[in-house]
Structure 1
Amino acid sequence: MYFWDKHKTITNYYELLSGEVCDQYELTQMEYDIIMFLHNNPHHNTAAEIVRIRKSTKSHVSSSLKKLENKGLIKRKQSKDNKKHIEIVLLDDAALIVDAGLNAQKQFAQNVLRGLTEEEKHVCMNVFDKICNNAEELLRGESK
């Protein structure tokens, strides 16, 4: 399918750039993705939200969080009000990884959007959002 094949090309290029950061800091792709997700989405800082939003499996997220915690890159913080609510906090030792990741993300965006006007970038983002929203609705069984 055309869209899926093209999507994989974009994903593969992103993983090539982020893979350099992973190699440099001895991280798996999932560990890197979690660090960057937590940095870019500080209000979605629980394991359940990472699983839900990133469409990752609970087991992969759980094992990656444990490894990140063992590496001193994150800590889990239990809510005083709700013992079951565990927030994940990036620690200072993750700062260099985040900086390298932001540079990789910036390079990715510049390279894949090269030659597009600002208007074309906005149209592209709007269309992609609509495609993703349609897929979300279908996954939830809201639309047939």
Structure 2
Amino acid sequence: MDNNLLLVSRYFMKFYESFCVDVCKKHDLVQMEMDILAFVANHPGLNTASDIVEVRMFTKSNVSAMVEQLIQKGLLQREEDKEDRRKIHLIIKPKANPIIKDIKKMQLRFSKELMTGFSEEEEKLFGQFIDRMLSNVMEGIRGNK
């Protein structure tokens, strides 16, 4: 395998971000605010700032600043964990529902365009390959710590 995988990963993000522009403009969000809302909406069990930092690999300071902005805009709220008071969950407020709806529509359009020309079987295999590669990457990261 040559450098195509690295090239694809960089262009993949640029391609995805090009789909995000309209949602960000429509709802007066910056890319990272939209990414955080999308993350919380798409991963119900992972709804803390630490989860976002760990999974999305954003810096802690950027996540803190963006979460605060989303709270100020009335789109997110903090909720203390009932069992561990040190843990703060991020909850999507009803005001964010139209944004979440637009994000999900945009993500569906992105996925459809990304997979144009792939058969159903190829899409399934691609998903399996990506899952396996992610597993290898995560194992490699754990092994290097």
What is the TM-score with the length of structure 2 in the denominator?
0.93
* Structure 1 residue runs without a partner (length 5+): none
The answer to whether residue 98 in structure 2 is matched with residue 96 in structure 1 is yes
| Residues 66-104 of structure 1: per-residue CA shift (max 9 Å, x gap) | 000000000000123321011110000111111110111
Task: Give the alignment of 1:1-144 within 5 angstroms.
Answer: 1-141=3-143
Cα distance in 2 for residues equivalent to 1:61 and 1:31:
9
Q: Which amino acid aligns with 1:29?
A: Q
Tell me the CA shift for residue 58 of structure 1. Answer: 0.7
Cα distance in 2 for residues equivalent to 1:135 and 1:80:
34
Cα distance in 1 for residues equivalent to 2:65 and 2:142:
26
| Residues 84-133 of structure 1: per-residue CA shift (max 9 Å, x gap) | 01111000011111111011101001111011111100111111111121
Identity, % of aligned positions: 31
CA RMSD of aligned residues (A): 1.4
Cα distance in 2 for residues equivalent to 1:74 and 1:25:
14
Q: Count the aligned residue pairs.
A: 143
Aligned structure 1 segments of 4 or more residues deviating by more than 4 angstroms: none
Q: Which amino acid aligns with 1:120?
A: E
